[in-house]
Amino acid sequence: MISIQSKIKKRLEKFVELDVNGLRRHVLSIFLKAKTVTVDDLHTALTKKYDVSRSAVASMVGYIHSKLGILRAHKESYKTPTVYALKEEYIDLIKSTLDSKILASSTSTT
């Protein structure tokens, strides 16, 4: 039987593998650096480097939350924005996946 951890690892590797401009890696690195993030916080950070709409950021966060399963979502009330945070058990997995993909891309270009 395949463990949940290995399923998430495969999904995460595929997610990063399909990253053509570095946006997905940047989103994951922001989640690693910041303890909690809202969609607006993430959009503000991403627009410094990428031309991306707020709805595209919200869509990506929704995908990461629902399909990858590495985020925890919390909403104080219906008036406050949803706050996302990485699940503690996946932080090392995300770091290793990002590191291995960076090494693979740097060795393939040389």
How far apart, in whole angstroms, are the C-alpha atoms of residue 35 and residue 94? 14
| Per-residue pLDDT tens digits for 16-67 | 999 999 999 999 999 999 989 999 999 999 999 999 999 999 999 999 999 9
How far apart, in whole angstroms, are the C-alpha atoms of residue 35 and residue 6? 24
| CATH class held by domain 4-104 | mainly alpha
How far apart, in whole angstroms, are the C-alpha atoms of residue 103 and residue 89? 23
Residue 59 CA: distances (Å) to CA of 4, 17, 39, 51, 83: 23, 18, 9, 15, 15
CB 45 within 8 A of CB 27: no
CB 97 within 8 A of CB 12: yes
pLDDT number for residue 101: 64
- Rg of the chain's alpha carbons, rounded to an integer? 14
What percentage of the chain reaches a pLDDT higher than 70? 89
The pTM of this model reads: 0.85
